[in-house]
Amino acid sequence: QITTIDGFCAYIIRNYFHLIGLDPGYRTADEGELKLLREDVTGKLLEDYYSEKQEKDEKFVECFASGKDDEALGGMIQKLYEMAMSNPFP
Protein backbone atom coordinates (compact mmCIF):
# COMPACT_ATOMS: atom_id res chain seq x y z
CA GLN A 1 0.00 0.00 0.00
CA ILE A 2 1.46 3.36 -1.07
CA THR A 3 0.57 6.30 1.17
CA THR A 4 1.96 9.43 2.81
CA ILE A 5 3.67 9.27 6.18
CA ASP A 6 0.60 10.96 7.70
CA GLY A 7 -1.68 8.37 6.13
CA PHE A 8 0.54 5.53 7.32
CA CYS A 9 0.60 6.88 10.89
CA ALA A 10 -3.19 7.32 10.86
CA TYR A 11 -3.56 3.73 9.65
CA ILE A 12 -1.34 2.43 12.46
CA ILE A 13 -3.23 4.42 15.10
CA ARG A 14 -6.66 3.39 13.77
CA ASN A 15 -5.70 -0.27 13.79
CA TYR A 16 -3.65 -0.44 16.98
CA PHE A 17 -5.22 2.26 19.20
CA HIS A 18 -5.92 -0.33 21.90
CA LEU A 19 -2.22 -1.12 22.29
CA ILE A 20 -1.23 2.49 22.90
CA GLY A 21 -4.26 3.48 24.98
CA LEU A 22 -5.57 6.06 22.52
CA ASP A 23 -9.24 6.88 22.04
CA PRO A 24 -10.33 5.26 18.75
CA GLY A 25 -12.41 8.36 17.98
CA TYR A 26 -9.37 10.66 17.85
CA ARG A 27 -9.14 13.21 15.08
CA THR A 28 -6.59 15.67 13.78
CA ALA A 29 -7.29 19.33 14.56
CA ASP A 30 -7.91 21.62 11.60
CA GLU A 31 -5.93 24.82 11.04
CA GLY A 32 -8.59 27.02 12.66
CA GLU A 33 -8.54 24.96 15.85
CA LEU A 34 -4.75 25.00 15.91
CA LYS A 35 -4.72 28.79 15.52
CA LEU A 36 -7.11 29.18 18.47
CA LEU A 37 -4.96 26.84 20.57
CA ARG A 38 -1.80 28.79 19.71
CA GLU A 39 -3.51 32.07 20.65
CA ASP A 40 -4.75 30.59 23.93
CA VAL A 41 -1.31 29.25 24.82
CA THR A 42 0.33 32.57 23.91
CA GLY A 43 -2.15 34.43 26.12
CA LYS A 44 -1.47 32.11 29.05
CA LEU A 45 2.27 32.40 28.49
CA LEU A 46 2.06 36.20 28.66
CA GLU A 47 -0.16 36.03 31.77
CA ASP A 48 2.45 33.88 33.50
CA TYR A 49 5.19 36.20 32.32
CA TYR A 50 3.44 39.30 33.69
CA SER A 51 2.66 37.65 37.03
CA GLU A 52 6.37 36.93 37.57
CA LYS A 53 7.72 40.02 35.82
CA GLN A 54 10.87 41.51 37.23
CA GLU A 55 12.40 44.93 36.67
CA LYS A 56 14.81 43.65 34.02
CA ASP A 57 11.89 42.26 32.04
CA GLU A 58 10.30 45.68 31.56
CA LYS A 59 12.89 46.58 28.89
CA PHE A 60 11.95 43.46 26.95
CA VAL A 61 8.26 44.37 27.04
CA GLU A 62 9.01 47.99 26.11
CA CYS A 63 10.89 46.82 23.02
CA PHE A 64 8.27 44.44 21.69
CA ALA A 65 4.87 45.47 23.08
CA SER A 66 3.03 48.54 21.84
CA GLY A 67 1.84 50.62 24.80
CA LYS A 68 -0.43 48.71 27.16
CA ASP A 69 -1.43 46.24 24.46
CA ASP A 70 0.67 43.09 24.17
CA GLU A 71 -0.93 41.94 20.91
CA ALA A 72 2.25 42.76 18.98
CA LEU A 73 4.31 40.77 21.47
CA GLY A 74 1.94 37.81 21.20
CA GLY A 75 2.10 38.02 17.41
CA MET A 76 5.88 38.03 17.53
CA ILE A 77 5.89 34.93 19.75
CA GLN A 78 3.58 33.14 17.31
CA LYS A 79 5.74 34.13 14.32
CA LEU A 80 8.81 32.86 16.15
CA TYR A 81 7.00 29.55 16.73
CA GLU A 82 6.03 29.31 13.04
CA MET A 83 9.60 30.02 11.95
CA ALA A 84 10.95 27.41 14.36
CA MET A 85 8.46 24.81 13.12
CA SER A 86 9.46 25.43 9.50
CA ASN A 87 12.97 24.17 10.29
CA PRO A 88 13.69 20.46 9.92
CA PHE A 89 14.87 20.20 13.55
CA PRO A 90 12.94 22.86 15.54
Domain boundaries, the chain: 5-85
- In this predicted model, which residue has the larger pLDDT, 85 or 70? 85
Query: What percent of the chain has pLDDT above 70?
Result: 93
- Choose from 29-43, 49-63, 69-83 the range with maximum mean pLDDT: 29-43
- Which pLDDT score is estimated for 31? 92
**Hey, which residues does 69 pair with through a beta bridge?**
66
- Which pLDDT score is estimated for 41? 94
CA 37 to each of CA 2, 44, 89: distance values in angstroms, whole numbers, following the listed order: 33, 11, 22
CA distance 41 to 74: 10
For the whole model, what pTM was predicted? Answer: 0.65
